[in-house]
Chain A
Amino acid sequence: MAKKNRKKGQAKFPVPIPIVALVAVLAGLSLVYVCLQSRTETLGREIKLLEASRDRLRDQLVREQCEWARLQSPSSLDQALKSHGLVMTWPGRDQIVRIRYDGSPDTRGMDTRPVSRMARADRIVMNVN
């Protein structure tokens, strides 16, 4: 009876396993690198788009602010009132009633400023004629 050849039938791997492992690791790292690179590029493009969008919005905001300032300027308001036939005048002395907080609950929420501070009161826009 012929002696059984133990090596017969064993498939020999053509490349050493450590090299295969190294290649696999390198391949994996390359994949990760490619993925990260791709992701970074995508983010870069997004940043660029967002930057452009920010600049566009900022320009738009400034244009709107400019237009708003123009619209609410005293001369525009004056013209608008005139175009609608509205003539506003400053009230006469007898038309002004000043209600001030005197400590009683009834006057709570009323003007508390002393007269000496009145010149710094908030402004009211009116057209003048």
Chain B
Amino acid sequence: MSTDQRGSTRFLIIVALLGMAMVGLVVRLVVLHLGSPEQDRATAAKTRTFKQTVSVPRGRILDASSTSGIMALNVGVKDIWADPASLSASNRVFSTISRLKPLLEFDVAEVTERLCRTNSRFAYIARLVPEEKADQVAALKLPGVYMDDAATRSYPQNNLMCHVLGFVNSDGVGSWGLEQLMEKYLKGSPGLIESQLDGRRREMVDRRIREVPAKDGADVVLTIDQHLQYIVEKALDSAMERNRAKAAFVIMQRIRTGEILAMASRPDFDPNRYREARDHQKINRAIAVNYDPGSTFKPAVIAAALNEGVVKPETKFDTENGRWLYQKKVLRDYHSYSQLDVKDILKKSSNIGTAKIAIMLGDQRLYQYLRNFNIGSKLGVDLPGEEGGILTPVKKWAPISASRIAIGQGVAVTGLQMLGVLCAIANDGVLMKPYVIREVVAADGTVLLRRQPEILSRPIRPETAKLMRNLLARVCEDGGTGKKAAVKGIRTAGKTGTAQKVIAGHYSETDYMASFAGFLPASKPEIGMIVVFDNPQPLHTGGAVAAPVFGEIAEQAVRYLGIIPEGEDALSQTDSRGPASESNESF
């Protein structure tokens, strides 16, 4: 065989081999693209396809000013985690921890134990790390350390309004207060992205299969004003310290509408650190605690009697020199008087006088009026955990009941109910439903919910209410028990209360609830407020403990709200309402 022939044969063999290889590749290509089993193709598609849930920011909670007063919002943070297997394999567990420790807050022993689990591929180092800190960690470029996006609920004002706002748990679900009640509006609806990945596991946006847009959570706008709330909380904190009280609360309400302008309860907690709060700190005492109202309850009874025409302001009663035996039980007055008319029974807060009025009114009528004032049932405020008070059905009353209920014993109310009674008197006898949510606004600006003032009942006539306003204003004048609640330049009306607490089934001689409920200006009321202290020491009367706090808050609130002192509005030529002062009005 010649050299040419050998060369030609080799060439043919190489060409044949290459040809076979090419045919093989083409066949494989065809099989892969067309002829592969359905299962293989599905597996390949599954590997490349991914579904990602797009989380949405929870809606904000805003105060009455709506734009500036952000009370709660979601803030982006990072969860920092590590791959313990890779860190252990490269013997970098301790060096990693020592480099992270100056930047992050974590328990070294606990994290070390987690990172030493060599069979684990995931362990948290620190959760909910602020972005600034996370950036510093990222700059270290530590191998085996990773970050995930997360969000946390932030309450920029810390403790302010904490009982109303509530908090969100670690799963992002509202678990207390408005966060819980408005969950369906605040949470929004998460979006979905279904798409394909390239060889480097990056999304190929042009091959997005499905995209469901996320719907951000709606904003909840409150009727509560953060500045009024601050005034209230500051005064309350100061009074708590001064009076060494066990607990306290204040509610401020707009008379005409029922809007709650401020609601504070003590003790309180920081919703940013809700895990550290104890149960008793989380209770919103303004709505969730029933207590014996004491003398603040008397206006409801006297208003009922006046409305029924059973008594007149001038009707005189024998107040038995401060000690009266009725149904074999003794009833005492704090100060002894031989005789008082209805005006002074309220002003001097006579138990005996009020009890006699209630007896004159009769059980059935008294009960019906109290029910009309919404005593014994929830007012329906838009906050979770509201109590309804306790009012025993009239058929179960003992002969002595009316005389004791009249002075706020044997009946329990919430602070909101007690304020409701005073506000109804201030509002021409119309009881408004209290509310804290003004509106709910979607992220696109659509108003999803808007609250309107709602009338609950009309327990007394407007004329009776007007009369009662004047009687209650006398309580804050010289000689009245609520003198310390008076605001200079503005006629204030209200009623003090000093109720013995029920301890182990008996009225305590040492533990009291001191309260003051009132409104102002007395002639054309704008705001109503109740201040209650639980077991204040050493002073324990409503007039000495609660009334000054009422005055302190009211003095600032009227200026903040621009309520004009009586007399000034008479100077206005454009005032459509005319002179408001009724200080000379006759009974």
Contacts and interface: CB of A to CB of B under 8 A. Distances in A.
A binds B: yes
B575 A114 contact: yes
Interface string B471-491: 000000000000000001100
Interface string A67-89: 11110111100100000000000
A128 B65 CA distance: 19
A58 to B, nearest CB: 8
Contacts of B574: 100-102, 112, 114
Interface string A7-47: 00000000000000000000000000000000011011101
B572 A115 contact: yes
A66 to B, nearest CB: 5
Contacts of A69: 68-71, 73, 156-157
Contacts of B69: 69
Contacts, number: 117
A91 interface: yes
A115 B524 CA distance: 11
| Chain B interface size range | 35 or more
A44 B565 contact: no
A119 B580 CA distance: 14
A78 B226 CA distance: 13
Interface in B247-305: 254
A45 to B, nearest CB: 7
Nearest to B577: A116
Contacts of A66: 70, 73, 75, 154, 156
Contacts of A78: 230
B157 A70 contact: yes
B76 to A, nearest CB: 4
| Chain A interface size range | 35 or more
Contacts of A93: 488-489, 565
Contacts of A123: 65, 225, 227, 560-561
B204 A44 contact: yes
Contacts of A119: 254, 526-527, 561-563
A27 B461 CA distance: 93
A45 B156 contact: no
B126 interface: no
A102 B568 CA distance: 15
B488 A41 contact: no
Given A98-B568, A123-B65, A59 B76 contact: yes
Contacts of B160: 73-75
A1 interface: no
B205 interface: yes
B577 A73 contact: no
A40 to B, nearest CB: 4
B562 A118 contact: yes
B573 interface: yes
Task: Pick from B69, B230, B556, B568 the residue with the most CB of A within 10 Å.
Answer: B230
A121 B227 contact: no
A48 interface: yes
Contacts of A116: 524, 575-577
Contacts of B562: 118-119, 121
Interface string B147-158: 000000010111
B157 A73 contact: yes
Contacts of B110: none
A124 B228 CA distance: 11
B156 A128 contact: no
B205 A48 contact: yes
Nearest to A51: B205
A89 B76 CA distance: 39
13 contacts: A41-B204, A45-B205, A62-B76, A66-B156, A74-B227, A78-B230, A90-B556, A93-B489, A100-B572, A102-B574, A114-B575, A115-B577, A125-B227
Interface of A: 40-41, 43-45, 47-48, 58-59, 62-63, 65-70, 72-75, 78, 90-91, 93, 98, 100-102, 112, 114-116, 118-121, 123-126, 128
